[in-house]
């Protein structure tokens, strides 16, 4: 299918967002997006616009998250919550295969877990980049290490991105070059650090509707069915102004100059001991991170011993069992685990995948129970570059 040429933006009145959701449902997509649940904004099924967290925002800081009324009726007036979209592409638990005993032998049946066609509504700029980072992990370009579930789920996605107009207290997407604006995938000059990042539609919210940009042939088909009018120049300008204001209000800043080399040459910095004194090794940061991809497998047998299954589950480099191998544990201390995690995200990820493992979403800062802040840790190492612990 040929990709469409960049077209002029269109305008979708808020009263017609349900038409868009209805068209996606009619085309066989399960629409998922932000919902208010468990006193947080999380991702789940969206049947109509009334399921969205209309009029709510999230106040975030290190180890702190609160919902608050905004005083307007914004549909996407929050930042990001504890969920990331990775749960739909790389599920927390996945059965890989079943085994059934038949007499003295057994047969293995492949799992028939089939990902549905899904439309993700409300994907932020940093989250589009996070999906692109996980693509590099799970869709190996040479085709040698492609994860079959991820590949199917990814191929069935319809992505509706929404630009951020509110900056979170823990966000630093501007430092990582991932937001809050959403780069036009048809503009080769607009995504300087990470190449192109595809979306099907990109929305910018105004008071009465959305400026809509089309990023794919599937997106073009959908807007053609909706029969949308062109956005007025002043609507486009107002959208740009709002996103630029969010960039100015960013909660945090990280100097990324020479970051890979900075972390590699500071493996014995005393800051690793200081952070280890605070870190609980609870794994929260890795569970909420949209790019973390570690998993482990376990075989589970039922009580009759007739049936077994192999299950893959999210794992974390903070788990005490993670680095245990025959003969010992190669990361027995919290210092070693924290250093591994941070250095992998911001340094050795480049060596493996030619991209940063961090997109600046701020989740690990917000959801760390003791408020450890990756930007603060890196800034402290930079401030005393070359310092070594005293053994
Ligand atoms: S390391 Fe933290 S800020 Fe970076 S992508 Fe992961 S959760 Fe977001
Ligand atoms: S850095 Fe925070 S969230 Fe991560 S393991 Fe340590 S205490 Fe838990």
> Residue 344 CA: which ligand is closest?
1
- Range 47-65 average pLDDT: 98
> Residue 171 CA: which ligand is closest?
1
pLDDT value at 388 more than 60: yes
For residue 114, what pLDDT is reported?
86
Number of H helices and number of E strands within the chain? 14, 16
> Residue 359 CA: which ligand is closest?
1
Nearest ligand 2 atom, CA 280: 7
For residue 143, what pLDDT is reported?
65
Cα 298 to its chain centre, rounded Å, is 26
Write the residue with the smallest CA distance to atom 4 of ligand 1.
358
For residue 69, what pLDDT is reported?
98
Separation of alpha carbons 180 and 247, rounded Å: 6
Nearest ligand 2 atom, CA 281: 5
Nearest ligand 2 atom, CA 367: 3
Which residues face 35 on adjacent strands? 42
Q: Are strands 118-123 and 157-162 parallel, antiparallel or unpaired?
A: parallel
Report how far ligand 1's centroid is from the alpha carbon of 286 (Å). 8
> Residue 280 CA: which ligand is closest?
2
Q: Which residues have any ligand 1 atom within 6 Å of their CB? A: 288-291, 345, 358-364, 374
Nearest to 231 by CA among 13, 27, 62: 13
Nearest ligand 1 atom, CA 361: 8
Write the residue with the smallest CA distance to atom 6 of ligand 1.
289
Write the residue with the smallest CA distance to atom 5 of ligand 1.
358
Per-residue confidence at 142, pLDDT binned at 50, 70, 90? low
CA quadruple 44, 47, 49, 50: dihedral positive or negative? Answer: negative
Global pTM value = 0.93
pLDDT tens column, 177-214: 999 999 876 444 333 333 345 899 999 999 999 999 99
Most informative mutation of 350, 364, 366, 372 for ligand 1 (most atoms within 8 A of CB): 364
Write the residue with the smallest CA distance to atom 8 of ligand 1.
361
Radius of gyration of the chain (CA): 22
Report how far ligand 2's centroid is from the alpha carbon of 65 (Å). 16
For residue 188, what pLDDT is reported?
41
Q: What are phi and psi of 255, to 5 degrees?
A: -80, 115
- Range 19-35 average pLDDT: 98
Question: Would you list the domain boundaries of the chain?
Answer: 10-248, 259-383
Write the residue with the smallest CA distance to atom 4 of ligand 2.
285
Separation of alpha carbons 387 and 217, rounded Å: 53
pLDDT tens column, 204-220: 999 999 999 999 999 99
- The verdict on whether omega for the bond into residue 180 sits within 30 degrees of 0, i.e. cis, is yes
Query: What is the DSSP code (8-state) at residue 255?
Result: -
Report how far ligand 1's centroid is from the alpha carbon of 363 (Å). 6
- Range 140-169 average pLDDT: 90
Cβ within 8 Å of residue 224, ≥6 positions away: none
Share of the chain above pLDDT 70, in %: 94
Report how far ligand 2's centroid is from the alpha carbon of 318 (Å). 8
pLDDT value at 1 more than 90: no
Write the residue with the smallest CA distance to atom 8 of ligand 2.
282
For residue 7, what pLDDT is reported?
64
Per-residue confidence at 140, pLDDT binned at 50, 70, 90? confident
- CA 355, 361, 367: angle at the middle one, nearest 5? 125
Q: Which helix (H) or strand (E) holds 18?
A: helix 17-26
**Average model confidence (pLDDT) across the chain:** 92
Report how far ligand 1's centroid is from the alpha carbon of 285 (Å). 8
Is 372 a pocket residue for ligand 2 (Cβ < 6 Å)? yes
Q: Are strands 64-69 and 40-45 parallel, antiparallel or unpaired?
A: unpaired
SS3 of residue 332 by DSSP? coil
End-to-end CA distance of the chain: 62
- Range 317-326 average pLDDT: 90
């Amino acid at each position: 299918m040929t990709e469409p040429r960049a077209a002029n933006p269109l305008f979708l009145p808020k009263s017609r967002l349900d038409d868009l959701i209805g068209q996606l449902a009619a085309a066989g997509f399960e629409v998922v997006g932000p919902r208010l649940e468990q006193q947080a904004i999380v991702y789940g099924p969206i049947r109509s616009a009334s399921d969205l967290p209309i009029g709510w925002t999230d106040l975030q800081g290190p180890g702190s998250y609160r919902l608050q009324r905004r005083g307007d009726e914004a549909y996407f007036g929050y930042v990001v919550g504890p969920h990331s979209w990775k749960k739909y592409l790389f599920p927390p638990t996945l059965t890989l295969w079943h085994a059934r005993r038949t007499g003295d032998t057994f047969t293995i049946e492949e799992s028939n877990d089939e990902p549905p066609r899904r439309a993700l509504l409300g994907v932020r700029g940093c989250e589009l980049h996070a999906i692109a980072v996980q693509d590099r992990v799970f869709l190996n370009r040479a085709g040698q290490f492609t994860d079959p579930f991820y590949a199917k789920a990814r191929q069935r996605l319809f992505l509706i991105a929404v630009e951020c107009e509110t900056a979170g207290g823990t966000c630093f997407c501007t430092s990582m070059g991932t937001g809050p604006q959403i780069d036009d995938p048809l503009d080769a000059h607009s995504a300087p650090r990470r190449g192109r990042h595809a979306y099907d539609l990109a929305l910018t919210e105004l008071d009465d509707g959305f400026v809509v940009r089309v990023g794919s042939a599937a997106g073009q088909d959908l807007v053609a069915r909706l029969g949308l009018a062109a956005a007025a120049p002043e609507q486009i300008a107002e959208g740009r102004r709002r996103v630029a204001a969010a960039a100015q209000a960013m909660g945090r800043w990280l100097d990324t100059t020479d970051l890979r080399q900075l972390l590699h040459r500071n493996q014995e910095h005393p800051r690793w001991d200081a952070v280890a004194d605070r870190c609980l090794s609870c794994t929260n940061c890795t569970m909420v991170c949209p790019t973390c991809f570690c998993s482990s497998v376990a075989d589970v047998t039922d009580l009759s011993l007739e049936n077994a299954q192999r299950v893959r589950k999210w794992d974390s480099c903070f788990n005490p069992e993670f680095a245990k191998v025959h003969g010992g544990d190669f990361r027995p201390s919290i210092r070693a685990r924290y250093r591994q995690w941070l250095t992998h995200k911001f340094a050795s990820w480049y060596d493996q995948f030619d991209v940063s493992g961090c997109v600046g979403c701020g989740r690990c800062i917000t959801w760390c129970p003791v408020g450890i802040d990756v930007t603060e840790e890196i800034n402290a190492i930079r401030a005393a570059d070359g310092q070594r612990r005293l053994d």
